[in-house]
């Protein structure tokens, strides 16, 4: 029997003094807190349709079989030792070729930084280009940007967005901050809204960035950069087209950091494989950060992804069925909510454009429903979960102003039957 240390590790006098100022001020994920609420209700035997987590249930959406088999083959071949901090050469070259073939972007060698998912390259990009006190401009709602702003000790400028713009920033709200900005963060398709930035808006923003940087370079000042999070770009629906800053304004190649991953496009969130594509001088600096964090993806997964990105036609059949199933779920959900609105019930939804998300708004503020007084987004979320078994995430969890009534639905872990059951319960509640 070992030493029982429980009496010491729970010392209330010492525990609050252990974290430093940075760790003490960092907030945890609201989405994970909501997931705990869902788990408790399910443990009580409640029927819950979970639309909260931006993840995939392997029973609904397994990773591509060819990816699974390729990982197993790479493990069997002994690909189990440390990879380079920047990523294995085979994968970095495959990413360059894939971008050339599918996005029309021919980047030079040394332009790719691999990481364990998209987060390490994102964090490395922030830490590489942002100094304490620098200005980071980003739109809300936004996935996690405010946390990276905090970790860098930067000044965050959260610009407002409107549902009629798909919760995407416009030049009107971004450009007044351009002369002070060091980094502009854009995400399309957008988490949490499931919408896309218009090519005209992106082009206008990028042309302004290029003009601003011409002035800065002439004055010997640091340029403003754009971090372009496009991890959902392969999950675009209908005849819509994904655009990048560089395809619209080629001079942006010097000022753009693309962030990407297999996590969402191959339903492979747990495989942890992402990357940044950026000017080589930035990649050189990002490499050291990722290396010191040890935040590289496993070698076998890197080698497997390299094999498939070199021959993307091997994954195309999966992508066709995968996108179709996601779009079907999003459309089923959107049509159900829209039908409720047509009945006069207090809900509306935006058309899904990409990613795995749907935006909807509930006009319930100021009302009391089944004993729940709806005076906050948290009260709205609790009502939908406890009285309709519908688990969603309010936009306020993504930095959007409190009390809007807008929420995110994620369909990566639900079946069509789950959606139908949720809609039935929700209709009953709203009536």
Please give, one letter per residue, the 3-state secondary structure of the chain: CCCCCHHHHCCCCCHHHCCCHHHHHCCCCHHHHHHHHHHHHHHCCCCCEECCCCCCCCCCCCCCHHHHHHHHHHHHCCCCCCCCCCCCHHHHHHHHHHHHHHHCCCCCCCCEEEECCCHHHHHHHHHHHCCCCCEEEEECCCCCHHHHHHHHCCEEEEECCCHHHCCCCCHHHHHHHCCCEEEEEEECCCCCCCCCCCHHHHHHHHHHHHHHHHHHHHCCCCCCEEEEECCCCCCECCCCCCCCHHHHCHHHHHCEEEEEECCCCCCCHHHCCEEEECCHHHHHHHHHHHHHHCCCCCHHHHHHHHHHHHCHHHCHHHHHHHHHHHHHHHHHHHHHHHHHHHCCCCEEECCCCECCEEEEEECCCCCEECCEECCCHHHHHHHHHHHHCEECEEHHHHCCCCCCCEEEEECCCCCHHHHHHHHHHHHHHHC
- Average pLDDT of the segment spanning 407-431: 97
Residue span of the structural domain in which 40 resides: 8-61+318-430
State mean pLDDT over 79-103: 98
Residues 334 and 421 placed together within one structural domain of the fold? yes
> Are 147 and 257 within one domain?
yes
Task: Kindly state whether residues 360 and 291 are assigned to the same domain.
Answer: no
Domain-located, residue 3: no
Q: Does residue 122 sit in the same domain as residue 210?
A: yes
pLDDT at 106: 98
Per the structure, the count of domains in the chain is 2
Mean pLDDT lowest for which of 14-23, 125-134, 336-345? 14-23
Average pLDDT over residues 326-344: 98
Cα separation, 47 vs 43, whole angstroms? 10
Domain boundary among 314, 332, 347: 314
Predicted confidence (pLDDT) at residue 291 exceeds the cutoff of 80: yes
Model confidence at 5, pLDDT cuts 50, 70, 90, reads: confident
The Cα 161–Cα 397 span in angstroms is 15
Q: How far is CA 317 from CA 242, 322, 413, in A?
A: 20, 9, 21
User: What proportion of the chain, given as a percentage, has pLDDT over 90?
Assistant: 89
pLDDT digit string, tens, across residues 292-307: 999 999 999 999 999 9
48 shares its domain with 142: no
More reliable by pLDDT, 11 or 384:
384
Query: pLDDT, tens digit, for every residue of 15-57?
Result: 777 789 898 888 877 787 888 888 888 889 988 999 998 999 9
Query: Which CATH number goes with the domain that contains 48?
Result: 3.90.1150.10
Above 80 in pLDDT, residue 14?
no
Q: What is the pLDDT of residue 18?
A: 79
Q: Is the pLDDT of residue 118 over 80?
A: yes
Residues 305 and 181 in one domain: yes
Query: Structure tokens of 312?
Result: 């993307």
What is the average per-residue pLDDT within 3-10?
80
Q: Residue 287: pLDDT above 80?
A: yes
Domain contains 128? yes
- The answer on 296 and 197 residing in a single domain is yes
Q: Are 60 and 413 in contact (CB under 8 A)?
A: yes
Return d(Cα 292, Cα 189) in angstroms, integer. 31
Q: Is residue 241 part of a domain?
A: yes
| Residue 399 predicted with pLDDT over 90 | yes
The reply to whether 381 and 297 lie within a common domain is no
Query: How far, CA to CA in Å, does 267 sit from each of 277, 288, 358?
Result: 21, 29, 18
What confidence score (pLDDT) does residue 10 get?
73
- Give CA–CA dist 348/350, Å, rounded: 7
Q: Which of 278, 268, 238 is nearest to 99 (CA)?
A: 278
pLDDT tens digits for range 249-276 = 999 999 999 999 999 999 999 999 999 9
> Taking the CA of residue 244 as centre, how many other CA atoms within 13 Å lie in the half-sphere pointing to its CB?
28
Q: Is residue 28 part of a domain?
A: yes
Domain boundary among 284, 314, 344: 314
In a domain, 1, yes or no: no
Instruction: Give the mean model confidence (pLDDT) for residues 120-148.
Output: 97
Question: Does pLDDT of 4 surpass 90?
Answer: no
**Statement to judge: residues 147 and 268 lie in one domain:** yes
Token digits of residue 140:
């809300």
Residue-level length of the chain:
431
Does a structural domain hold residue 2? no
Q: CATH number for the domain including 167?
A: 3.40.640.10
* Statement to judge: residues 177 and 295 lie in one domain: yes
Residues 135-139: what's their mean pLDDT?
Answer: 98
CA distances from 372 to 380, 383, 390, 415 (A): 8, 6, 15, 29
Mean pLDDT, the chain, as a whole number?
A: 96
**Whether the predicted pLDDT of 315 surpasses 80:** yes
Tell me if 301 is assigned to some domain.
yes
| Of 132, 137, 249, the residue nearest 183 (C-alpha) | 137
Do 52 and 90 have their domain in common?
Answer: no
pLDDT at 396 over 80: yes
pLDDT at 11: 73
Which of 266, 299, 314 is the last residue before a domain boundary?
Answer: 314
Both 69 and 23 in one domain: the answer is no
Q: Is residue 378 part of a domain?
A: yes
CB 275 within 8 A of CB 95: yes
pLDDT of 160 strictly over 80? yes
């Amino acid at each position: 029997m070992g030493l029982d240390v429980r009496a010491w590790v729970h010392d209330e006098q010492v525990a609050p003094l252990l974290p430093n100022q940075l760790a003490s001020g960092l907030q945890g994920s609201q989405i994970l807190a909501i997931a705990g609420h869902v788990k408790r209700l399910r443990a009580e035997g409640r029927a819950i349709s979970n639309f909260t987590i931006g993840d995939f249930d392997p029973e609904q959406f397994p990773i591509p079989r060819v990816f699974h088999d390729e990982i197993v083959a790479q493990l069997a071949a002994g690909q189990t030792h440390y990879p380079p901090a920047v990523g294995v050469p085979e994968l970095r070259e495959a990413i360059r070729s894939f971008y050339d073939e599918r996005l029309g972007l021919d980047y030079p060698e040394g332009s790719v930084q691999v990481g364990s998912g998209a987060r390490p390259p994102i964090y490395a990009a922030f830490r590489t280009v942002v100094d304490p006190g620098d200005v980071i401009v980003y739109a809300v709602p936004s996935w996690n940007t405010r946390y990276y702003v905090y970790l860098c000790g930067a000044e965050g400028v959260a610009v407002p967005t409107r549902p009629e713009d798909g919760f995407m920033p416009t030049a009107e709200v971004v450009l007044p901050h351009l002369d002070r900005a060091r980094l502009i963060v854009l995400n399309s398709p957008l988490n949490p809204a499931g919408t896309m930035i218009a090519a005209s808006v992106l082009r206008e923003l990028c042309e302004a960035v290029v003009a601003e940087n011409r002035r800065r370079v002439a004055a010997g000042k640091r340029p403003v950069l754009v971090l372009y999070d496009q991890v959902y770009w392969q999950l675009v629906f209908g005849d819509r087209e994904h655009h990048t800053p560089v395809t619209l304004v080629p001079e942006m190649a010097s000022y753009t950091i693309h962030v990407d991953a297999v996590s969402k496009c191959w339903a492979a969130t747990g495989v942890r494989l992402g990357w940044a594509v950026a000017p080589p001088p930035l990649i050189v600096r990002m490499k050291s950060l990722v290396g010191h964090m040890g935040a590289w993806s496993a070698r076998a997964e890197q080698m497997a992804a390299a094999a498939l990105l070199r021959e993307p036609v091997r994954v195309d059949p999966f992508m066709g069925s995968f996108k179709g199933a996601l779009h079907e779920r999003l459309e089923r959900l959107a049509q159900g909510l829209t039908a409720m609105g047509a009945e006069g019930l207090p809900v509306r939804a935006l058309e899904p454009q990409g990613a795995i998300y749907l935006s909807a708004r509930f006009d319930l503020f100021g009302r009391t429903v089944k004993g729940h007084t709806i005076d906050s987004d948290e009260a709205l979320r609790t009502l939908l979960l406890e009285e309709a078994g519908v688990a969603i995430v309010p936009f306020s969890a993504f930095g959007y102003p409190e009390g809007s009534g807008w929420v995110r639905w994620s369909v990566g872990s639900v079946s069509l039957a789950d959606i139908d059951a949720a809609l039935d319960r929700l209709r009953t509640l709203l009536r």
